[in-house]
């Protein structure tokens, strides 16, 4: 293999993919098992040129992709792998750091601590918090619950009925009891009559997955702490918006959190996977994970990042976060957030101006939750037809039993034209 | 940013790094905090050209790297990010798949199942096992323990005193009780008098981290199953060697395992991170993680990979494994393993032929555990001097309280000359 030639071909392939992704169907048009049937059942005995991989990428893989880089990807939470982030992943793979302990990769360890602190500053979070990178919010929240159980000696987790499914899954994996609390008409967790006396952790969400609704973090934090419980804030999606002063209304009380997760791979231009986990109680957090006995601790403990989460081996994820922060600057990131929030407002206005449609939940951040006035079946058919068109991809959720549509704006390539086209496709 | 130009510069940077990595010191020559002090305390307000990132990579990051790609990296377990694997990471980042459910990325989901099955075939594992990719062996073993507790309803984990520290950490995170069992003179877990009546999981290791020793898997599997316990096999490092028929002696009994972890990012040319987790009991395994109630299950369940481990969002890791298997073929991988095992034998012969040195543990796979006949302090000084030379990097462990050195061969660029140079440096 000639690295330069094959690399040039791979780079050209990636460049063309990004240039033409808007011409591909957003949602994959394959049936389950269709790709499997086309892939050889057994591995090759002899090696092949890398060009064969690129050929099969075109012929087999691309048709089975749901194109998350497409400007009209509006499902789940839309994301972007930006160019600096992509190239940083090439570099990280080339360096192949395995940061098990500080000396195994001083670069990866110290850059991670530094750039996660850069994000802390950008979001206006308190000084002194310890932050590191996990793969996903599922893992970050898992780590937070482990710390909460360790610190409190209790075994109950409380979250809103609209909290992300990972809270339930994490509690299940840990053998913790989960109590889901009903939400109010603003889709925020109710706090009246909340008994937290036997609770290890309260998980408050800023920007729920279904509706981008916001739990009353300050109230929950005060109640949690009064009862001796840990407060974890899941702001995986919406937390990135705190780079805008005008979005910090949703941050009220977050400074009281014991731990917080925000995912730059969601709305901060970083390719999968990059989930930031901060704690305001690093000493206690670390005690839940470390195998190093007290008497062996040294000044380097802050550098032992494996002591703040489940994995020992850690790849060089900070490189892509660094590249993105450098190449966009705070200014560039703020501009993208403002534009996405403007586009969501614009789409919400189109919905509200049309008597056949309605907003189903308050507009928050860059997520519009809406429905056509009519039956669930009608809305379901509209979504199916729209997604089958290949032109747009939206997902749905249920609110009080009713089928509602979600349009999530979060791809850096999305323009006003794309948003208007989405509205047109839905109205066909 | 112009993706093609910046990409060309990044690719050229990576190519030069790989060409010249053998001229860099293997172990980083920085003090803790040294890089941190050089990095700006705050993020930039304005965006910068990507070229600045590459410049700082040279000036700031490279001096703080421990060079895992160096041919004379012999510490921990030596690894390789091969060229096809590196370029596949560039492609995966460009595609930016977030495989939360099948439809979110049919390509990532189905390619993962297929290529993990390719590895199953290469290693000679039983048909019908369900395999998927986790980030590291810590997470794979965590998932296995979760499944074991779910299936057995018990809370005790048993492993050898030489098992990897992640078993202890995983048990600690889950609130499970860990019992460490002493090893025999071959450094294998003792099984006489083992009472497994209240045990959820027995973790057997094939290729321990300290000595590459091998637990009696068949015996442990039979005892575990007779007692109603789960048998998890940690073959994170050594399992890859089963691509060689002649190394399958260490596989005896693995076909009885309930779960098994093997890491292609260790000894199968795949960049961090890629840990394969198989289970022979996929239905029960899945029940420990899934939130989908029984009555909602469909034929697509095998495609719901998030139901087999902690994370919901999954990146396109299978692409790099696919690229490596395609570009090397079974033949290429076998050739590398044979060469590494030959080089380890060669180094062990040098040790054994010299009356001043001795093997400290039986030679297994590609890991040589040895010491200079003399005091612990003498061995410690030898290692410190050797590592400080920048020419080689070895790590150490303790065996029955004594300080012993480890030479791990696993980098694809390592030649006989490198191994002979290591011997020379140690003898200076």
Residues B379-388: pLDDT tens digits? 999 999 999 9
Preferred mutation among A87, A112, A277 to probe B, highest tally of B CBs within 10 A: A87
Q: B48, A169: Cβ pair inside 8 Å?
A: no
Whether residue A379 has a cis bond before it, omega within 30° of 0 = no
**Which of B86, B139, B175 is facing A94, going by the closest CB pair?**
B86
Beta strand pairing call for A177-181 and B130-134: unpaired
Reply yes or no on whether the pLDDT at A302 is more than 80: no
pLDDT for the residue A320:
98
Reply yes or no on whether the pLDDT at A292 is more than 90: no
Q: B4, A18: Cβ pair inside 8 Å?
A: no
Q: B138, A311: Cβ pair inside 8 Å?
A: yes
- Gap from B330 CA to chain A (nearest CA, Å): 5
Tell whether A180 lies on the interface with B, counting CB pairs under 8 A.
Answer: no
Which residues does chain A have within 8 Å of residue B329's beta carbon, measured at their own beta carbons? 43-48
Q: Closest residue of B to A286, CA-based?
A: B173
Are A367 and A407 within 8 A, CB to CB?
Answer: yes
d(CA B1, CA A84) in angstroms, rounded, equals: 8
Which residues does chain B have within 8 Å of residue A5's beta carbon, measured at their own beta carbons? none
Q: B98, A110: Cβ pair inside 8 Å?
A: no
**Which of A27, A61, A104 is facing B66, going by the closest CB pair?**
A104
Percent of chain B whose predicted confidence (pLDDT) is above 70: 99
* pLDDT confidence bin for A336, thresholds 50/70/90: very high
Q: B46, A331: Cβ pair inside 8 Å?
A: yes
Which residues does chain B have within 8 Å of residue A299's beta carbon, measured at their own beta carbons? 32
Those residues with Cβ within 8 angstroms of residue B419's Cβ, 6 or more apart along the chain or in another chain = B343, B346, B347, B407, B409
Give me the torsion for CA of B97, A144, B260, B164, rounded to 10°.
Answer: 130
**Which of A47, A65, A86 is facing B90, going by the closest CB pair?**
A86
Mean of pLDDT over chain A: 97
Percent of chain A whose predicted confidence (pLDDT) is above 90: 96
Are A191 and A229 within 8 A, CB to CB?
Answer: no
Reply yes or no on whether the pLDDT at A20 is more than 70: yes
Report which of A19, A15, A17 is spatially closest to residue A61, judged by C-alpha positions. A17
Q: A291, B172: Cβ pair inside 8 Å?
A: yes
- Gap from A330 CA to chain B (nearest CA, Å): 5
Tell whether B105 lies on the interface with A, counting CB pairs under 8 A.
Answer: yes
d(CA B230, CA A327) in angstroms, rounded, equals: 50
Q: A6, B83: Cβ pair inside 8 Å?
A: yes
Q: A118, B170: Cβ pair inside 8 Å?
A: no
pLDDT for the residue B299:
65
- Gap from A305 CA to chain B (nearest CA, Å): 13
Q: A110, B85: Cβ pair inside 8 Å?
A: no
pLDDT for the residue A173:
97
pLDDT for the residue A158:
98
Percent of chain A whose predicted confidence (pLDDT) is above 70: 99
Higher pLDDT, B304 or B279: B279
pLDDT for the residue B293:
74
User: Which sign, positive or negative, has the C-alpha torsion A285, A290, A296, A300?
Assistant: negative
d(CA A46, CA B162) in angstroms, rounded, equals: 37
pLDDT for the residue B302:
73
Mean of pLDDT over chain B: 97
Report which of B71, B39, B135, B72 is spatially closest to residue B393, judged by C-alpha positions. B72
Reply yes or no on whether the pLDDT at A295 is more than 80: no
At A211-233, the pLDDT tens digits run 999 999 999 999 999 999 999 99
Three state DSSP letters for chain B: CCHHHHHHHHHHHHHHHHHHHHHCCCCCCCCCCHHHHHCCCCCCCCCCCHHHHHHHHHHHHHHHCCCCCCCCECCCCCCCCCHHHHHHHHHHHHHCCCCCCHHHCHHHHHHHHHHHHHHHHHHCCCCCCEEEEECCHHHHHHHHHHHHHHHHCCCEEEEECCCCHHHHHHHHHHCCEEEEECECCCCCECCCCCCCCCCCEEEEEECCCCCCCECCHHHHHHHHHHCCCEEEEECCCHHHHHHCHHHHHHHCCHHHCCEEEECHHHHCCCCCCCEEEEECCHHHHHHCCCCCCHHHCCHHHHHCHHHHCCCCCCCCCHHHHHHHHHHHHHHHHHHHHHHHHHHHHHHHHHHHHCCCEEECCCCECCEEEEEECCCHHHHHHHHHHHHHCCCCECEEEEECCEEEEEEECCCCCCCHHHHHHHHHHHHC
Q: Closest residue of A to B110, CA-based?
A: A36
Q: Which of residues 73-92 of A touch B (CB under 8 A)?
A: 75-76, 79-81, 83-92
pLDDT for the residue A299:
65
Which residues does chain A have within 8 Å of residue B68's beta carbon, measured at their own beta carbons? 95-98, 104-105
pLDDT for the residue B292:
82
pLDDT for the residue B420:
98
At B369-419, the pLDDT tens digits run 999 999 999 999 999 999 999 999 999 999 999 999 999 999 999 999 999
Higher pLDDT, B306 or B302: B306
Reply yes or no on whether the pLDDT at B346 is more than 80: yes
Q: B94, A138: Cβ pair inside 8 Å?
A: no
pLDDT for the residue A1:
58
Q: State phi, psi for B281 to the nearest 5 degrees.
A: -130, 60
Q: Which of residues 311-370 of B touch A (CB under 8 A)?
A: 311-313, 315-316, 319-320, 322-323, 325-332
Q: B289, A142: Cβ pair inside 8 Å?
A: no
At B349-372, the pLDDT tens digits run 999 999 999 999 999 999 999 999
Report which of B149, B96, B140 is spatially closest to residue B308, judged by C-alpha positions. B140
At B119-161, the pLDDT tens digits run 999 999 999 999 999 999 999 999 999 999 999 999 999 999 9
Model confidence, pTM: 0.97
CA atoms within 13 A of residue A200's CA, in its CB half-sphere:
22
Are B72 and B408 within 8 A, CB to CB?
Answer: no
Q: Closest residue of A to B74, CA-based?
A: A104
Which residues does chain B have within 8 Å of residue A86's beta carbon, measured at their own beta carbons? 3, 90, 93-94
Reply yes or no on whether the pLDDT at A293 is more than 80: no
């Amino acid at each position: 293999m000639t690295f330069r030639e094959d690399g040039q071909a791979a780079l050209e392939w990636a460049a063309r993919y990004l240039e033409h992704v808007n011409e591909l169907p957003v949602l994959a048009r394959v049936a389950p098992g269709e790709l499997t049937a086309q892939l050889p059942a057994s591995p090759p005995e002899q090696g092949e040129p890398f060009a064969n991989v690129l050929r099969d990428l075109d012929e087999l893989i691309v048709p089975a992709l749901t194109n998350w880089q497409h400007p009209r990807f509006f499902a789940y939470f839309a994301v972007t792998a930006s160019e600096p982030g992509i190239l940083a992943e090439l570099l990280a793979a080339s360096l192949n750091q395995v940061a098990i302990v500080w000396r195994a990769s001083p670069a990866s360890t110290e850059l991670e601590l530094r750039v996660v602190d850069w994000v802390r500053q950008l979001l206006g979070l308190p000084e002194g918090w310890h932050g590191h990178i996990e793969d996903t919010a599922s893992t970050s929240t898992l780590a937070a619950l482990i710390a909460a159980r360790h610190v409190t000696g209790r075994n109950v987790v409380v979250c809103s009925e609209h909290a992300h499914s990972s809270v339930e899954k994490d509690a299940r994996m840990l053998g913790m009891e989960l109590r889901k609390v009903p939400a109010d008409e603003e889709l925020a967790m109710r706090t009246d009559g909340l008994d937290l006396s036997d609770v290890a952790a309260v998980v408050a969400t800023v920007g729920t997955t279904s509706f981008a609704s916001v739990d009353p973090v300050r109230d929950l934090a005060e109640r949690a702490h009064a009862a001796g419980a840990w407060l974890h804030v899941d702001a995986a999606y919406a937390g990135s918006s705190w780079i805008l002063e005008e979005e910090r209304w949703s941050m009220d009380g977050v400074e009281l959190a014991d731990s917080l997760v925000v995912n730059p791979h969601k709305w901060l231009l970083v390719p999968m996977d990059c989930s930031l986990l901060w704690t305001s109680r690093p000493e206690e957090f670390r005690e839940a994970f470390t195998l190093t006995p007290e008497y062996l601790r040294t000044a380097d403990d802050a550098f032992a990042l494996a002591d703040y989460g489940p994995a020992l081996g850690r790849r060089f994820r900070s490189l892509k976060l660094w590249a993105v922060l450098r190449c966009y600057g705070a200014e560039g990131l703020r501009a993208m957030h403002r534009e996405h929030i403007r586009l969501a407002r614009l789409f919400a206005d189109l919905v509200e101006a049309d008597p056949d449609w309605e907003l189903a939940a308050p507009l928050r951040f860059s997520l519009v939750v809406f429905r056509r006035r009519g039956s669930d079946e009608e809305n379901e058919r509209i979504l199916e037809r729209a997604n089958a068109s290949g032109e747009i991809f939206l997902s749905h959720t249920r609110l009080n039993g009713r089928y509602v549509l979600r349009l999530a704006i979060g791809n850096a390539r999305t323009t006003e034209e794309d948003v208007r086209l989405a509205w047109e496709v839905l109205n066909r």
